[in-house]
Chains A and B, each alone.
Chain A
Amino acid sequence: MLFSQLSGNVNDALLSQDGGDISLYYILFFGFGFASVSIFMILFMVWRRRKCIVDKVIEAELIEKYQDFLTSFLLLPLDESFLGIQKSDRQSSRLDSKDIQDPYRRRILADQIYLLHSQLSGQQAVQLVNYFFGLGLQEEILNMINSSNWTNKVKGMQMIQAFELVEYVDKIDEYVNHSNRDLSIHAIVVRLSLDRSLAVLSEINYNLNTWECHKVYDAIKRFRIDSTDLLDIQSSANTGFDFLNRLTDAFNMPSKSKVDKKLQYV
């Protein structure tokens, strides 16, 4: 009697005559759903890993080819052909049309020029920038800046900064007070680099935090910006005296006493 009652309860709850089949159906549906998703994830993971291994090899080969080519380009005399096909017996030093047309290869080539440029100065750096333009790779920068992915925008900004493309300064200005603070601080750094002055700091409409102060400090050091310009922005209510104080502290500049004095009256 008791057993039959218990049995009835279990069956009622878990597999009642009127709705039990449906419950079982749902449970099996979700069970097979999770199993299918798991199988899909495993297959995707294996496919992706294999693809990564292959891509890594191709990328390594392309990087080697472009580095070799760029080195030859800088060391050997230029041919009249501006597209960089040089008078060289070394086949590896040649670019083919695929290198210029294929977006994936163009991106790698642009990256290599950018990396090499960061290690050069003087005539060779200028030569490399000219070459960059000769290949029409500035389109890559515009694509990056106009990309919906904000990290691509930053990468584009870094290239503008590296190649000192002052004509793109309007593009950068759009992002100086952007709500994405990472994007904003990169735009500020690029402006500092292109302007070679601290003028952009007066345009900021928020107070910089320690990280952003560090980025500005780093830019001032890297681009050897005259820090006496700091005095020019003391009248700006936008930038914040806190920043000034930190910055003058960091540089241990003579302007520190002036900033401190001014702070007493704020």
Chain B
Amino acid sequence: MFNLFLEYVVHFFEYGIFFYCMFILTSYIVISFISTKEVFKYTNRKKILELDSVISSPFQPSVSIIAPAYNESVTIVDNIRSLLSLHYSALTIIIVNDGSKDETLQVAIDAYDLYLTDEVAVEEIAAKPIRGIYRSRKKAFSKLIVVDKENGGKADAINVGTNVCSTEYFACIDVDCIIDQDAFLRLVEPIMNGGDTKVGAVGGIVWLTNDADIKCGKVMKIRAPKSYIAQIQVVEYFRAFLLGRPAWAKDNGMLLISGAFGVFDRETVMAVGGYNHNTVGEDMELVMRMHKYYRENNIDYKIAYIPDPLCWTEAPSDFAVLGRQRNRWTRGTIECLKFHKEMCFNKKFGILGYISYPYWLLAEWIAPYAEAGGLLFVAVIAILGLANWPFFLALLFLVYTFAVSISIYSILIQELSYAKYESVSDLLILVKAALLEPIKYHPKTVKWALSGNLDHFTGQNKGWGEMTRTGFKKAD
């Protein structure tokens, strides 16, 4: 009986993990090729779009930027200045001071000559109380609104911003991100081109700026980061934004628009009740809820994505901070998948139910278990002296070369599409990082994902965790 049980266990690992690996390998190849086609389609089309004319067009949709700020007194003035310089006329900038303990609000008041208005926002989405709404006395800053509210976290701050804003669309950004000056001209193009299809949200590429030259809130020159940990994140972002999301967005199967930068239809966000406070994956959860809302109400819609670098941010530069971020991402993914489990294999949700959701379940949630299980299995059979080493090493070689080739392919697509890295040495640094990734970095991501699972199932709510950044490097 025991022997039979063991046989089943062994067979499960032998075949289960082997076929799981084949599934992942095949899906990566398919997704990469669809994405490649989409990226080149976009970059080719971008050449003839003539987006500058949108600046003065009466047809441009109105957009608000909602930027939550918490203890940002050092950077708030520069960040607001950078937002004010964006090329888009129908733009309102809403800074939400989320109960900062430092001088964030006062610094903004002094720098932009703000005064307390008697405006009141209708609380369409439940959120923490607003202490005051500030506007500038200076005409040059007439687009700026600063909202002071009680502390409630990022999701709550965005909900307050959504209540305050009165534009057709809003963009939520992390206040420490750098937004490309033409970002909104590019983001609204799919909205304007939507026709009768409701464009619920639009996302773009988030690019990493570690060791880049920044001048006056603009990214002047991108180079490969010096630290390995940032280098490998650059490659990870290429894989996600150039080889992943374009394919998912093609047939409206995208479940996530990055929290760092995305544009949302205000009316829909209001209808679905805004951001969810009960998850650390509030960006993904909102997108899933929007999908659900549109599908349940039979609205012809699109969650769009443009493979264009619109937002620049700094990657965590030490393993402890990165570990906390990845732990949070894992918890967020699990929470979202659990909140919307009815989507799985539900024909009402079409591609989302049959492909996107199951893929996230298998490739994002289950992956660390499968990898850790596979390693454990190998360790057990090695200890028992049963390992078939030639076969094991051959399989390891296949998995390694595949992982590396996908990473190098993502660097190549970056080179063929945007070519942001000007020197050969920068490219070779990224290639080196890709070669080392499966050995030096990937085991850590599995560990962080497993700890995220553990924290989720043991009910440890670690919230967002503290993020420390080294700050952008200024250009000479």
Binding site for B on A (CB under 8 A): 2-3, 5-7, 9-11, 13-15, 20, 23-24, 27-28, 30-35, 37-38, 41-42, 44-46, 48-50, 52-53, 149, 151, 154-155, 158, 181-182, 186, 207, 209-215, 217-218, 246, 249-250
> Smallest Cβ distance from B222 to chain A, in angstroms?
14
A45 touches B412 (CB 8 A): yes
> Smallest Cβ distance from B3 to chain A, in angstroms?
6
> Smallest Cβ distance from A191 to chain B, in angstroms?
16
Q: In chain B between 128 and 149, which residues have their CB closer than 8 angstroms to a CB of chain A?
A: none
Binding site for A on B (CB under 8 A): 3, 6-7, 10-11, 14-15, 44-45, 47-48, 53-54, 57-60, 189, 191-195, 381, 384-388, 390-391, 394-395, 397-398, 400-402, 404-405, 408-409, 411-412, 415-416, 419, 422-424, 427-428, 431
> Smallest Cβ distance from A7 to chain B, in angstroms?
5
Partner of B6 from A2, A37, A48, A250 at Cβ < 8 Å: A2
A49 to B53, CA, bound (A): 33
A218 touches B405 (CB 8 A): no
Partner of B395 from A27, A37, A42, A210 at Cβ < 8 Å: A27
A3 touches B412 (CB 8 A): no
Q: Which residues of A contact B6 (CB under 8 A)?
A: 2, 6
Q: Which residues of B contact A49 (CB under 8 A)?
A: 415, 419, 423-424, 427
Partner of A28 from B53, B193, B386, B397 at Cβ < 8 Å: B397
Partner of A6 from B57, B194, B386, B412 at Cβ < 8 Å: B386
| With contact pairs A6-B6, A27-B398 given, residues A13 and B424 touching in the complex (Cβ less than 8 Å) | no
Q: Which residues of B contact A20 (CB under 8 A)?
A: 391
A53 to B422, CA, bound (A): 8
> Smallest Cβ distance from A148 to chain B, in angstroms?
12
> Smallest Cβ distance from A142 to chain B, in angstroms?
18
Q: Which residues of B contact A52 (CB under 8 A)?
A: 419
Q: Which residues of A contact B54 (CB under 8 A)?
A: 214
A38 to B7, CA, bound (A): 38
A182 touches B388 (CB 8 A): no
A31 to B411, CA, bound (A): 20
* Chain B residue, CB-CB nearest to A48: B415
| With contact pairs A5-B7, A6-B6 given, residues A14 and B388 touching in the complex (Cβ less than 8 Å) | yes
Q: Which residues of B contact A9 (CB under 8 A)?
A: 7, 10-11, 14
| With contact pairs A13-B15, A182-B48, A211-B189 given, residues A42 and B10 touching in the complex (Cβ less than 8 Å) | no
